[in-house]
């Protein structure tokens, strides 16, 4: 070292490597390979989730209680194993999230109460028109309706109804766990948060194409109608998936997307055509317009990250060497 003299020391100081993103510093693969690993991991999760529905051979339709119970088992197994896919992705890419795996997947206590209430309130505001339509078409008044909703017998019937459990509990929980909590942490370092909001729902939308198989199998309609229905379902499930992905990123919690998913499953797609022909069409359409307007007005304030504490996905991007995304503030 002494033989090098001053020039040698200056050469060593100049040639010192600059600070690299953490994924590179940890010896992980390049960005291109990281993206391929992320996409392949998400595709594997989507295929595993849908494939688990068909491991049971049965001639019965999907709404039969026996079929639903079997699918509960397989879907819960796949969903329980899905966090290990995120762990494997972390090892393959060398990216260190800076938080625990459960926190990264939205299981945390910080800000949990606003995360449970505000996204659901925002979604109910969006469905103001359909909620008005539901109340107009209901024969009972508000007091009687609340008595039915709060009655223990009503909940007991729901908890023994396999279709209700599937639509309101199992499907929202497992789908949000797999398609949001597991996929978004893997996609975000590759695409960034903004593109991930729109990339992640594509896996969610494609996963719903399996309904074509059952509809063709039981000949529930013509081939053209089934394909058209599947294309429509893909469109609105992709839009809904983008919305819940947005909620997951902005709140850093899984509970909000799950509750919103359950609510939307209960409400179904808004019956706009029925609203146009409704006897009280004008106030009903005004409710539809008001709901959409208030939703757009309140979308940013009610999902302000300051209400929910630190955002795990934003921490992940910082650790991976990315710049702060607009969704993080």
Q: What is the 3-state secondary structure (H, E, C) of 41-81?
A: HHHHHHHHHHHHCCCCCCCCCCCCHHHHHHHHHHHHHHHHH
Q: In the annotation, is 208 catalytic?
A: yes
Cα separation of 188 and 192, whole Å? 5
Inter-CA distances, 125 with 13, 132, 266, 280, Å: 60, 11, 15, 20
Helix/strand number for the chain, H first, E second = 19, 0
Which residue among 22, 64, 208, 318 is the active-site one?
208
Estimate to the nearest angstrom the gap between the alpha carbon of 3 and the chain centroid.
62
Residue with tokens 């229905």: 229
Q: Which spans in 99-218 are helix H? A: 101-104, 112-126, 128-137, 142-150, 152-159, 162-165, 171-176, 183-191, 193-207, 211-217
Q: In the annotation, is 211 catalytic?
A: no
Residues 78 and 178: beta-carbon distance below 8 Å: yes
Q: What angle do CA 174, 169, 264 make, to 5 degrees?
A: 95
**Which residues are known to be catalytic?**
175, 208
């Amino acid at each position: 070292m002494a033989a090098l003299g001053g020039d040698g020391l200056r050469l060593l100081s100049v040639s010192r490597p600059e600070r690299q993103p953490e994924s590179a510093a940890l010896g992980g693969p390049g960005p291109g390979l990281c993206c391929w690993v992320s996409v392949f991991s998400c595709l594997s999760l989507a295929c595993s989730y849908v494939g688990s529905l068909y491991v049971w051979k049965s001639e019965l339709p999907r709404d039969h209680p026996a079929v639903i119970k079997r699918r509960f088992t397989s879907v819960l197994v796949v969903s329980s194993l899905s966090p290990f896919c995120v762990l494997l992705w972390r090892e393959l890419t060398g990216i260190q999230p800076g938080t625990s795996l459960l926190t990264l997947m939205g299981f945390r206590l910080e800000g949990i109460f606003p995360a449970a209430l505000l996204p659901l309130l925002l979604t109910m505001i969006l469905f103001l028109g359909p909620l008005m339509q539901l109340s107009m078409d209901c024969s009972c008044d508000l007091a009687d309706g609340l008595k039915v909703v709060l009655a223990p017998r009503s909940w007991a019937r729901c908890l023994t109804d396999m279709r209700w459990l599937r639509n309101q509990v199992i499907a929202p929980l497992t789908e949000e766990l797999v398609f949001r909590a597991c996929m978004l942490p893997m996609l975000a370092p590759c695409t960034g948060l903004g593109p991930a909001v729109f990339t992640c729902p594509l896996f969610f939308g494609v996963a719903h194409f399996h309904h074509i198989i059952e509809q063709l199998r039981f000949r529930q309609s013509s081939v053209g109608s089934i394909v058209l229905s599947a294309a429509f379902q893909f469109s609105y499930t992709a839009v809904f998936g983008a919305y819940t992905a947005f909620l997951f990123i902005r709140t850093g919690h899984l509970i909000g997307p799950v509750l919103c998913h359950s609510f939307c499953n209960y409400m179904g797609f808004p019956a706009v055509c029925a609203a146009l022909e409704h006897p009280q069409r004008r106030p009903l359409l005004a409710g539809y317009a008001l709901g959409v307007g208030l939703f757009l007005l309140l979308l940013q304030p009610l999902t302000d990250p300051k209400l929910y504490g630190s955002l795990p996905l934003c921490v992940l991007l910082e650790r991976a060497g990315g710049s702060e995304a607009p969704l993080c503030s």
